[in-house]
Structure 1
């Protein structure tokens, strides 16, 4: 039997390596190579394949989105072999199944093992369980891509405790740390504000390269006529915004009716 396969990977050397390995198996016909998920989905919308070698981390349409798009239609029984340099996507969930997961860099022996398992799976019927796993993985991926932080676990002087984000009045940058300001005190947490900003609840607003305020603790604010705002918080601390944040601040304040 001849099995058709495609490669989807944004790295040229990865595509080249896979195509060289596939070429060694006379039972596999390489139907195409694609640089991103969008190209692959366009092809798969009108072409049926047996095996998809699929990278996960790709710009725009990632591999998990491609896999999720194959749970219906002509390619719903296609066997997907994930290829990725990242190990956080539940490798063990697929190890017992024909749907496989190749962690880069992988060698020819590991590739051959995965390919043989894929061939066996193509010959079998009933892929519903496997694609339910893909759908579940995709849902988990969407939830984890930008996880919203609701509490911080703090370790101070041998003690460990948590601070709910609702108790945080503001967050200030201090080197490689963020200072979580509550009514009682400030707590050091090792994270950069740039990494933290997008994962905070919507009540938090970045107003300066070194400060984020929680609008739920805002007492009053005023425009200072020089493209900056003054924010007075309910702990009586005052923060002045940076000029480059003017547009964003105006937009958020307007959205919240402030």
Structure 2
């Protein structure tokens, strides 16, 4: 059973969530809150697996609230963002949200989002391994350790992939790692919740996407096209 709470400054929205949670047998909505301070106190005192979180709140945005609790916790709480404003979708997914519910949402859409949370929860419970934070890739006769957090994007070049990396130094971006590997192979080695294939030639980390416009993703100063055969999957992540 997934232990959940909901935070929204609008009581009617909380009543909808309460009603929907009562119709599924794997969510235990333990409490609802209209104030961020009360929700934060509950999270520090009681184990919680899932947070239904409104983004547009008067005292503190849901994004800022989730960042704060994530910094305090070694094991981040799963979050499903709820809001009436579609423009917040990309910002929500940069925080690795399980899903994003655009108000007013149907029970079917709610069930789809919570089923994703249940799948991820089961994976967490069954896995004895820590979540991978790095990837080993052989290139130029060398085995490279690549931190997942450093990946800006992955570009496919026939039977090779070019892994573009960020840099923490002012001297510039490091040279990309070019490895003999297919896009399908490297995608299978990446965490599905964090990376998505958006084009025949591109895989990107969700938390690197800064904006989506006209079938184009913006990552830093780069524009990445969304391929026609990948469009439905990409848009389903953002519910645009």
TM-score by length of 1: 0.46
TM-score by length of 2: 0.49
Structure with higher RCO (Cα < 8 A, 6+ apart): 2
**Who wins on radius of gyration, i.e. which is larger?**
1
